């Protein structure tokens, strides 16, 4: 799948999830089912990476770094993690060929930017003190990047 197409589809899913909330879940489920139909080998790594992301966001929410309107993490966030993991899987060959120094700076900055945009859209609250909260989110995305890269690298080696 091309990097441009995969990025455009993920950005559409991101906007749907953040703007539509739980009402966007059926559309996101249909999109993921279609994706899994065409890429059935992606099911296990997508669910593994989404699990990692949800565990990390659960920890961030438990620590008060992220605040959602309800005490539990919303269903749309789970769907967003599944969509993001599908995106990562779709562009895995690009990711595995990027210089690691770029990957481990750009991905955490991109993750932080998404949370900041999500806050502007009213999907999540990042309470004060902001600088320390931003550092925690950046660190979480650094860890996600490390773990996702590990999954992709391991599965690439297992193919050979």
Residue 125 phi/psi, 5-degree rounding, is: -115, 135
Mean per-residue pLDDT for 81-99? 96
Domain ranges of the chain: 3-159
Question: What is the number of alpha carbons within 13 Å of residue 1 lying toward its C-beta?
Answer: 19
- Chain segment 110-134, per-residue pLDDT in tens: 999 999 999 999 999 999 888 999 9
pLDDT number for residue 85: 98
Mean per-residue pLDDT for 47-61? 97
Burial class (CB in 10 A: 0-12, 13-18, 19+), 40: exposed
pLDDT number for residue 160: 53
pLDDT number for residue 64: 92
Contacts of 78 (CB under 8 A, 6+ apart): 50, 54
- Given the structure tokens 């990476």, which residue do they identify? 49
Mean per-residue pLDDT for 139-143? 97
The model's pTM: 0.95
| Tokens of residue 135, six digits | 């550092």
């Amino acid at each position: 799948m091309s990097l441009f197409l995969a990025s455009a589809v993920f950005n559409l899913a991101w906007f749907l999830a953040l703007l539509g909330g739980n009402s966007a879940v059926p559309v996101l489920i249909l999109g993921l089912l279609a994706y899994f139909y065409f890429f059935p080998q992606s099911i296990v790594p997508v669910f593994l990476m989404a699990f990692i992301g949800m565990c990390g966001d659960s920890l961030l929410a438990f620590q008060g770094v992220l605040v959602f309107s309800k005490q539990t993490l919303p269903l749309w966030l789970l769907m967003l993690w599944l969509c993001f993991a599908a995106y990562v899987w779709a562009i895995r060959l690009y990711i595995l060929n990027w210089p690691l120094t770029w990957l481990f700076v750009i991905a955490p900055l991109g993750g932080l930017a998404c949370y900041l945009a999500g806050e502007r859209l009213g999907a999540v609250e990042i309470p004060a003190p902001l600088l320390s909260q931003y550092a925690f989110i950046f660190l979480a995305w650094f860890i996600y990047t490390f773990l996702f890269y590990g999954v992709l690298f391991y599965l690439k080696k297992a193919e050979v």
